[in-house]
Structure 1
Amino acid sequence: MASPNKLAHVVLKTGQLTTMTEWYLRVLEGRVTFANDALAFLTYDDEHHRVALIATGATEQPGDGHTGLHHAAFTYATLADLLGTYQRLSAEGIRPFWCINHGPTTSMYFEDPDGNHIELQIDNFATEEALYEWFGSGAFEANPIGTQFDPDDLVRRFESGESFDELVKRS
């Protein structure tokens, strides 16, 4: 048996192809690899597309009463990258609706124009061993959701030189 070696892309149905394309390009600092009136392929790295949008005419937004995808997550290499993205998007009026330190990740959740949720995150542990040691400590079991944080306060603390370990420690 073989497992996949990566998750290649997420495909979303939309009734507002242009608006959604522009939003994902802005948020992910991506580029269009293919687009027409029916679909758009977007990427931000060497994959031919990470997000695809299909114009279906759909207008009903996903909600808690719907089955389906809850959110898609995108991991940044560094806390500086995540916070820089937060500041860039915030300046453009795109603000997260939820910021939470899950333990394994420090995460910011955004809602796209169709109401889909995406998570922008960093990994809080440098090694798998450290992550699994933390899972084994019972901290995640005691609080599997995490602790909320103020992103502006996190930026301030980061810019003041506070250590990475302190910045990503769950309160």
Structure 2
Amino acid sequence: MSYTVPAQTRIGHVHLKVSDLQRSLDFYCGLLGFELMTKFGDQAAFISAGGYHHHIGLNTWHSKGMPPAPVNAAGLYHVAILYPERKDLAAIYKRLTEAKVQFTGFADHGVSEALYLNDPDENGLELYWDRPRDQWPVDGEGNLTMYTERLNLSGLLQELGK
């Protein structure tokens, strides 16, 4: 029997294994701007946007001092962090650029615009915003036609009015 997950279903949070909890907190809270909600000693922390109990869990339970997971292995490809508006994506792009963070890519997917980078443990991150649904690209039959094109970074920065 076929089943379709309800349209209102959301992915609630991600829990990442990290090798150095403080280094990860410096990155996620200090650089990306997440808020520390609670810590469990030097082994785990829960961080959020806007006071939610947690969007990201960070722990060293099985990974303290360990190297990053191999790229060519099964596992997490990236965590996607959705920003509410294009200007918010522009602001984090400017902040990360000024901090000399190395990006792994930039893309316009038609439905969204995205920045790609890695955290200190080489976990992939996608920072993105979704275009309004009525702007999503569709073909003549109304089928979604996502794509990957170069992101116009200067156009993105224009959102900041500078």
Ranges in structure 2 where 5+ consecutive residues have no aligned partner: none
Give the C-alpha shift of residue 138 in structure 1.
6.9
Give 2:17's aligned residue: 13
Give the C-alpha shift of residue 92 in structure 1.
1.5
Give the C-alpha shift of residue 7 in structure 1.
1.6
Q: TM-score, normalised by structure 1?
A: 0.76
Give 2:51's aligned residue: 46
Match of 2:69 among 55, 62, 73: 62
CA offset digits 1:127-168 (Å, max 9, x no partner): 2x543735946743xxx4x012352x234554679xxxxxxx
- Does the CA-based 8 Å contact 1:72-1:117 persist in structure 2? yes
- Does the CA-based 8 Å contact 1:76-1:121 persist in structure 2? yes
Give the C-alpha shift of residue 15 in structure 1.
1.4
| Percentage of matched positions with identical amino acids | 22
Ranges in structure 1 where 5+ consecutive residues have no aligned partner: 162-171
Higher helix share: 1
Give 1:91's aligned residue: 98
Give 1:113's aligned residue: 120
- Does the CA-based 8 Å contact 1:13-1:53 persist in structure 2? yes
4+ runs of 1 displaced by more than 6 Å?
Answer: none
CA spacing shift, 1:82–1:54, aligned 2, 3 Å: same
Give 1:28's aligned residue: 32
RMSD in angstroms over aligned alpha carbons? 2.7
